[in-house]
Structure 1
Amino acid sequence: MIKEVFKIYDFQKPKGGNPLSKLLVGGLIEAEGDRLLKHRKILNPAFNIEKLKVTPRTNCRVHNGDIGDPEALSVSAFTILNTCSSDYHNSSASAVISTLPGFSGKLPFKLETGYIGIGEEENVQLFYYFVESERNPKDDPLLVWQAGGPGCSDFGALFTQFGPLQFNTTFVEPTLTLNPYSWTQVANILFFDNSPGAGFSYARNQNAYRNSDTLSAAQTYEFLRKWLKEHPKFVSNPLYIAGISYTGIVLPVIVQNIYNGNELGNEPIINIKGYILNNPLTDRSIDFNSRIPYAHQFALLSNELFKAAEINCHGDYINENPSTRCVDNLQEIDKCLESIFQMQILEPICLEDTTALYKDGSSSEKNRTNAIRSLKYINTACRENGYSYFALWANEKSVREALHIHKGTIGTWELCNSDHYVIGKDDTATYTYDVSSSLPYHKNLTKKSCRALVMSGDHDMVFPYIGTRKWIRSLNLTVGRPWTPWFVGKQVAGYTETYMNEDYSLTFATVKGAGHSAPEYKPEECLAMVDRWFGSYAL
């Protein structure tokens, strides 16, 4: 499939990148919402932060030097003014769901779905799934999960990672079963489709589809304030913002917005305690340049080839290099890596063309009988193929009725708004990438009373753990607990280290054998990890 992706997206000497570094730079292949995204863009890590920013259309006025600017991290520079009306235009609608198609009997947990309108005219309607903790909803943490992409649905996290339900892939018809390692055993979880055009979220006009890193962060802050106003009994719960992959760019901005809003007195005051990141993109230069050293470390590249590339490319494998030797080395590296499943390097790569079902759901909508028949021939040992159940289920009329989806708001369900990336461009008609690195936000958060958990599946080559450790060390924190194994069931589950700075603490943990979405690959270990961390215990 990766070879087919290269053919489709035509890797021709991209601007700002080595012409042959297609696997490592162009067409970033990344897992989001538990699918393999083929971003139609050549990502230039040397992003110009001065590029045009989209003006957010929210209840709050946003001015020059907005919250997305790394220069504007302090409250004094926090220019979303506290002029938001306390009386929001409330067009939200929520419903408690007791049964779902494909699940036998009543749901043994409380599931609520609904919409939150964003902006002065609420032209953006963000759809959410809320699952109450099965332990102690009153006191357990409130975890707000954000998928990456950018612009993906939380559907994958809900049904394949750590939500209470999962698809049973042993049946042809999509059926649901309980997840024994759901994080809802220890936390209330708010999943939401964070961008119109992804999942069940939508926009009321074309202009409302425009988005950016900073606008997405502002919309999430607005979404959260409105949701808490409608669910006041959860205002006092300890709140954590969490996410995966590209969310590593946006999430620290969201957390910063919350702290700034609290200090400005915005209502409701959010009981923010910290954040969780899973294999995040944090700094384009650090994270993308870590792929080749990671591949060498895991014996996917020879010592000779790696050393040659390191010398000839000067350790920079993503920016344009006039050296012919560097280009030749990267070409050889591509040959070694192009057939590796980047999300989990030990798993098979999908070679069959059986992924159309989850890409856009068109197969299930046009001819459901043929779609179900095609599931009989899917090799679910190839993980990506298992995602074919997503669209088949989500496009069912009975499913939409059960979830109380607004009729006529979307056509075919899509996991991700995949047109965000356009090859050869940094920005598109619908998205502006105006945060090149979230490191300045992490650095500012180290001055807050804040806890951070950063987990890395150690077999992920999308955003390898060695890059994550590098940017963590750049924060210049004090080492609390040095590198040591952590255990589940008396077995090594990974390795961990802790850092601190006054009231700030950061726990980094690898998950042994896990891929990009760590809870999907190692559910028992990840549940144990977050449960211990929420309780302030050592892993």
Structure 2
Amino acid sequence: MLHLLLLLLLLFSNVGRSRSAVVKSLPGFSGDLPFKLETGYVGVGELQEVQLFYYFIESERSPKDDPLLLWLTGGPGCSALSGLLFEIGPLQFDYSDSSENRPVLKLNPYSWTKIANIIFLDAPVGTGFSYATAWRAYNSSDTSSATQTYEFLRKWLMSHPRFLTNPLYITGDSYSGVVVPIIVKEVYDGNEAGREPPMNLKGYVLGNPVTCEVKDISQRIPFGHKTALISDELYESTKKDCNGDYVNVDPTNGACLTDLEMVSKRLEKIYLAQILEPICNFMSPNHTRLKWSRSILEENIINVVSMPLQSRPWCRNYNYLYSYIWANDRNVQEALHIREGTKPEWDRCNESLSYTKDVLNSVVYHRYLSKTSLRALIYSGDHDMAIPYVGTLDWIRSLNLTLLGMWSPWFVGGQVAGYSTLYVVGMKYDLTYTTIKGGGHTAPEYKPKECFAMVDRWFSYYPL
């Protein structure tokens, strides 16, 4: 009982004000970090019961001039550390030099921090190292999480006023495609209402974004047909029998159910995140089930760690195990200044969130933002079957924007890196949509060089 009281006192003593610390070195990386890393907590919500944890990395080029990005990883419930280590951050695991008990870090030559200041945020509450001091505060939703993230950003900028004039972009991928447009609207409306501090909001960036889960998942069937995974005959039969709706199926529609069962059999051995890669199911070292995104990329359980190395198939998912080993190391948590006792265990994607999906389709927010003077970049890995590009193109076209730039290839190193198109509204709002050739879910993990070139050009207002 005494131990519990001491723990509660510790938690509440840490809630009073936001705290941050500079991290100069990290276990697994040799020498001092060649970039500025700050970590910390910002209290939001009633009585600051929600403590959101962040990693802030200054631009390695020009911190005072380069854009400021707020980055949210999907899920909901996937840690920002996943985006940092596996996608766009300055560090990544050196798989050739790492062992199961000794993860080694190296520099990412295509880190977006080479051209931007980035706040990687663990949101919603319960994600990564973010926590709450009261059980009721763990209940969150799309809208409440967006509100808390907006509050976080206001408080963070007030404590980091030198970044108030930097161009601000709200960014993220996967399920954050639902939440990011809500946050952008809150920031925009807050500026219009004169809320402090004023933010230099310029736009938003979304990768492989969930927009409407039902429609996004339904688009897997047209995508499977386009990529020759589903035959012409089966596709036409399924489209006819199911009336184009492959998720909300009438249980009395036997023909549709039969077609969908046949479709499932054709796709059950396909890795949804990148259809060209092997499907590899695994367990984490502590035998908890791993998923990239709840209801989007589910894995079956096979204990890969116990399999002999020579008989183990190459598996991209196996790379994620290093993050569990590294982030749950006490020395790592001390280096990151994690508050002791606030989280029993770090999860790359927390499946136990008390989370309500109360925004079933975020297109309404894009439609609202299209009436502003903001800019948007939306990109899709063209081999992502989890959130297929065909569905993303569908909702973008539903905005009825003016097509300015035709579907055209763009290049990196003299090779086609993807295909892009540009939409505008008058001389104000513009939306660039692009595919990343060979990219999966999510694209920067599969095509880091191409994605870096994409954002470098876009932030600089250059054509892709």
TM-score of the two chains, using structure 2 as the length reference: 0.90
Equivalent AA in structure 2 for residue 341 of structure 1:
Y
CA shift at 1:327, angstroms?
Answer: 0.6
> Is 1:383 aligned to residue 383 of structure 2?
no
* Structure 2: gaps (5+ residues): 1-14, 291-302
- Residue 289 of structure 1 corresponds to 218
Q: Could you tell me which residue of structure 2 aligns to residue 399 of structure 1?
A: 332
Partner of 1:501: 425
Cα distance in 2, alignment partners of residues 409 and 380 from structure 1: 37
Instruction: Indicate yes or no: 2:78 matched with 1:152.
Output: yes
Q: Distance in 2 between matches of 1:248 and 1:114?
A: 25
Q: Name the CA distance, whole Å, in 1 between partners of 2:77 and 2:305.
A: 30
SS in 2 for 1:452: strand
Change (3 A) 1:358 1:174: farther
How far, CA to CA, are the matches of 1:376 and 1:239 in structure 2?
48
1:77-92 equivalent positions in 2, closer than 5 A: 91-92=17-18
Q: Cα 1:96–1:196, aligned 2, differ >3 Å: closer, same or farther?
A: same
* 1:208-250 CA distance string (max 9 Å, x none): 1000110000001000000001100001100000111111111
Alignment partner, residue 189 of structure 2: 260
Q: Structure 2 CA distance, aligned partners of 1:286 and 1:327?
A: 18
| Residues 164-217 of structure 1: CA deviation (Å, up to 9, x unaligned) | 000111220201000000000000010011123221111101001000110000
**Aligned residues with identical type, % of pairs:** 55
Instruction: Please state whether the residue corresponding to 2:178 is helix, strand or coil.
Output: helix
Task: Tell me how far apart the structure 1 counterparts of residues 84 and 371 of structure 2 sit (CA, whole Å).
Answer: 33
Residue 344 (str. 1) matches residue 274 (str. 2): yes
What letter matches 1:395 in structure 2?
N
Separation (CA, whole Å) in 1 of partners of 2:202 and 2:339: 34
Within 1, Cα distance between the matches of 2:155 and 2:264? Answer: 47
Structure 1 Cα separation of the partners of residues 51 and 287 of structure 2: 23
Check the 8 A contact 1:380/1:386 in 2, yes or no.
no
Q: Corresponding residue for 1:413?
A: 346
Deviations 1:238-272 (A, max 9, x none): 00001111111111111000011111111001111
Aligned residue in 2 for 1:205: 134
Contact 1:358 1:389 in 2 (8 A): no
1:105 Cα deviation (Å)?
0.3
Distance 2:47 2:313 in 1: 44
Shift of 1:529: 0.2
* Structure 1 pair 358–500 and aligned structure 2 pair: CA distance change class (3 A): farther
Cα 1:263/1:204, change in 2 over 3 Å: same
**Displacement of 1:93:** 1.1
State the alpha-carbon separation in 1 of the partners of residues 154 and 70 from structure 2: 12
Contact 1:357 1:388 in 2 (8 A): no
Question: CA offsets, 1:76-103, max 9 Å, x none?
Answer: xxxxxxxxxxxxx852111101100000
- How far apart, in 2, do the equivalents of 1:331 and 1:522 lie? 33
Alignment of 1:63-462 (within 5 A): 91-170=17-96, 171-172=98-99, 173-321=102-250, 322-351=252-281, 353-357=282-286, 359=288, 377=309, 379=312, 381-420=314-353, 430-462=354-386
Separation in 1, partners of 2:288, 2:192 = 42
- Kept in 1: contact 2:242–2:249 (CA 8 A): no
Partners of 1:400 and 1:159 in 2: how far apart?
A: 15
Aligned residue pairs, count: 432
Deviation at 1:359, TM superposition (A): 4.7
In structure 2, how many angstroms separate the alpha carbons of the residues matched to 1:518 and 1:147? 13
Alpha-carbon distance between aligned partners in 1 of 2:276 and 2:395, rounded to the nearest angstrom: 26
Unaligned runs of 5+ in 1: 1-88, 362-370, 421-429
RMSD: 1.8
CA distance in structure 2 between the partners assigned to 1:497 and 1:341 by the alignment: 28
Does the residue aligned with 2:205 lie in a helix, a strand or coil?
strand
CA distance in 2, matches of 1:485, 1:259: 32
Higher RCO, 1 vs 2 (CA within 8 Å, ≥6 residues apart) = 1
Conserved in 2, the CA contact under 8 Å of 1:113 and 1:403?
yes
Q: 1:380 to 1:265 in 2, by over 3 A?
A: farther
**2: CA distance, partners of 1:437 / 1:527:** 29
Q: Does 1:510 align with 2:435?
A: yes
Change beyond 3 A, Cα 1:163–1:347: same
- Deviation per CA, 1:279-338: give whole Å up to 9, x if none: 111123431221100001101011111111011111111112232111100000000111
Match of 2:396 among 472, 496, 506: 472
CA distance in 2 between counterparts of 1:293 and 1:412 reads 40
What amino acid sits opposite 1:397 in the alignment? R
Q: Which residue of 1 aligns with 2:294?
A: none
Deviation at 1:380, TM superposition (A): 7.4
Does the 8 A contact of 1:360 with 1:414 survive in 2?
no
> Which one is further off, 278-287 or 205-214?
278-287
C-alpha contact 1:111 1:132 (8 A) present in aligned 2: yes
Partner of 2:12: none
Matching of residue 521 in structure 1 with residue 446 in structure 2: yes
- SS at the partner of 2:236? helix
Q: Corresponding residue for 2:411?
A: 487
